[in-house]
Amino acid sequence: MNNRTPDTTQSIENLKGEIEFRAKLSTQHVSGEVLLPDYYKKEEHDRILLERVEATHRRMKELAGLGISFSPFVELGAERGQRSLVLTNDFGAKGIAVDISYHQLKTMEHFSTLFKREKLPLRICCDANHLPFKSNSFPFIFCYEFLHHFPSLQPILKEIHRVASDGYFYFDEEPFKRVMKLPLYRQKAKIYSERALRKNKYVSLIESFISDAPCDEVEHGIIENDNISLMEWMSALSVFDQREIDLSSINKLKSKLDGRLRLTNIPNYLLGGTIAGLCRKKLRLANNGPVDVSDILGCPNCRTTSNNGSFDRPSLVELGDRYRCSQCGFNYPCRDGVIFLLPRSELQQLYPNF
């Protein structure tokens, strides 16, 4: 299912594919109209999302027990925002849910009612390669099933590190490369189709080692980079000062990953699986940056450079249904409660009607 490209960031075509695919998903999972017949239908999708809401609550409760502050937070690749709804409503946190898909962010109102979590975070449609936030702003950043949509980890993790303050970055449910795989053929059934889901679990397990399965995401042009090696994960995450990394493979085979591969990691290394981590950024200087969510927003099209060579983004001024850059004067629109903070060229190409 690998769709790796030699580029280090997503192309416009990748982003267009993401928007098109998730626009169809938003319709299918709110109205029930079937636009993607090989994907989860509305009822099954609601059940899966509820499970994710409950799992997120349990995990965030554990992180809160470690003394981690959630306000302000930003969720990357938030889609429908079910996890941001947990932080906002269950933990009283203030924060921002971001995604490249306006259509998915718009559905958050539907799912907030469905899951009885009525308070919404700020919603921003943006490109994570150009996060529209000031540097050193968020004590808590998190994402699920997000980082593997990039052809290379290093650029996106550097951008995440830039906007993190003296705090934490948490990620979960990301894939890492399976070394013991020899893809001999391509399966006919897509991975989320009813035919694939009805397949015997042992047959599915064996096939995962000797075949590739098609999926709607790749067919729409979305990057599904499930061949990220553990070496690449370690290298890209080294930008953070502290890292607690967990690997999980078949039958809940687990190990801890530190600065280098160890014997305890070999079974995971061979079998592949999922990776999760809690990473810490420590500021060397006192952080006197913004604390209110509205003060964190910055122009995705402009940069300001400090004496040490690091860059920041100039402030945005809220003007009713738009946000104006204090430096270039460009007006960013707001529709249905979703703010569009994309670089100008991308905004014109990805959302020409807005």
Number of domains composing the chain: 1
As a whole number of angstroms, the longest Cα–Cα distance in the chain is 60
Q: Is residue 6 situated within a structural domain?
A: no
Q: What is the C-alpha to C-alpha distance for residues 242 and 14, in angstroms, rounded to an integer?
A: 32
With tokens 């302000």, the residue in question is 72
Q: Is residue 183 situated within a structural domain?
A: no
Q: Is residue 209 situated within a structural domain?
A: no
- For the stretch 1-13, pLDDT in tens is 444 334 678 999 9
Which pTM value belongs to this model?
Answer: 0.94
Q: How many residues does the chain have?
A: 354
First to last CA, the chain: 33
Q: Is residue 47 situated within a structural domain?
A: yes
To the nearest whole number, what is the mean pLDDT of the chain?
93
Domain that holds residue 108: 13-177+217-350
- For the stretch 116-142, pLDDT in tens is 999 999 999 999 999 999 999 999 999
CATH number of the domain within which 248 lies: 3.40.50.150
Q: Is residue 5 situated within a structural domain?
A: no
Amino acid at 90: D
Q: Is residue 185 situated within a structural domain?
A: no
Q: Is residue 196 situated within a structural domain?
A: no
User: Apex CA 5: angle with CA 4 and CA 7, to 5°?
Assistant: 135
Q: Is residue 298 situated within a structural domain?
A: yes
- For the stretch 158-196, pLDDT in tens is 999 999 999 999 999 999 999 999 999 999 999 999 999
